Amino acid sequence: MVINKHGSFYLRSGWGTKIIQAVEADNMIFSPANEQEAVDRIGLGRVMIKALRYWADASGLTTEEKVQGGIAERRTDLFDLLEANDRYFQKPGSLLLLHRNIALNEENATAWYWAFNEFDKQAFTKEEFVDGLHYFLAVNEMSIKKATVDKEFNCFKNTYLAEKKFDIKTVMDEDTYPFFGSLHLLRINEDKKFEKTYLTKAEMPLHILIYAIAKDNPEESGHRGQVSIDKIMEEKRQVGKYFPMRYSKLIDMLLEAENKKLLTLNNNFGNRFIEFSDVQYDKLLNEYYME
């Protein structure tokens, strides 16, 4: 588990593209010895370059490997997919895939994991978030000052929620618009509390949803097994946590998936299950980008 490895620089609009372009040109770009070259080539300051390196790994775009001469950024399958199909992150599914990776990354994006998997409050104050995360870290034998956790909340919040209103059509990638701002996963409600918001059916691409469910349950999806809808909705590391949707909307989308023969819905004495089909679920992402 880590806190503040990003140096308080949240993931910003355009940074996903910067990561892809930088690693595409030189997979050693984030090595400490290449820091000045990275500053010159990417156009960000030294501290932001370190944050960019952190987000490349935390988001699952790259994995790091120590090699002779420094640190190599190894491209993941997601990196290759986005490089070929959506390097400017214009499709909501691309943002959702990176959000999923970060929200599941307990080791390197601990606050994001905790917020979407462990923290049960839908609406909350900053103090409630900070106190809860501070306790979670303490239980996991991490002695962190509350002031540091306070900074981590600010970074978490700014990843999804802009400090001021922007027109996303005119904002430049050097600006401070949050990378996940257009997903509207976080808002300030009428009571001036922060609130995790529900995704609508229109905001959740079907192929991304079913891919995520299959990846969250690899044993079942790999052997045409079953998984309960209650598990999908309520358990940690499942879509109901990090892609928050109302139960009725999830059922609507699962029915649509059944019509497309991606899975089967079963009702066993009032308990609803999905049964995976003989589908190569990894290829659903390719189908999404081909639409």
Q: Return the domain boundaries, the chain.
A: 15-160, 206-290
Q: Given CA atoms 68, 70, 75, 76 in this order, what sign does their dihedral have?
A: positive
Average pLDDT over residues 154-171: 73
CA-based angle 16:17:20, to the nearest 5? 90
- Between CA 221 and CA 146 the distance in angstroms is 41
* pLDDT recorded at residue 269: 73
Residues whose CB falls within 8 Å of the CB of residue 213, separated by 6 or more in sequence, listed in order: 221, 227, 232, 238, 239, 274
Distance in angstroms (rounded) separating the CA atoms of residues 251 and 85: 29
For the segment 24-50, what is each residue's pLDDT rounded down to a tens digit?
Answer: 999 999 999 999 999 999 999 999 999
Distance in angstroms (rounded) separating the CA atoms of residues 28 and 33:
9
- Confidence at residue 163, expressed as pLDDT on a 0 to 100 scale: 63
pLDDT at 264 over 80: yes
Confidence at residue 171, expressed as pLDDT on a 0 to 100 scale: 47
Structural domain 206-290, CATH architecture: Orthogonal Bundle (1.10)
pLDDT value at residue 164: 58
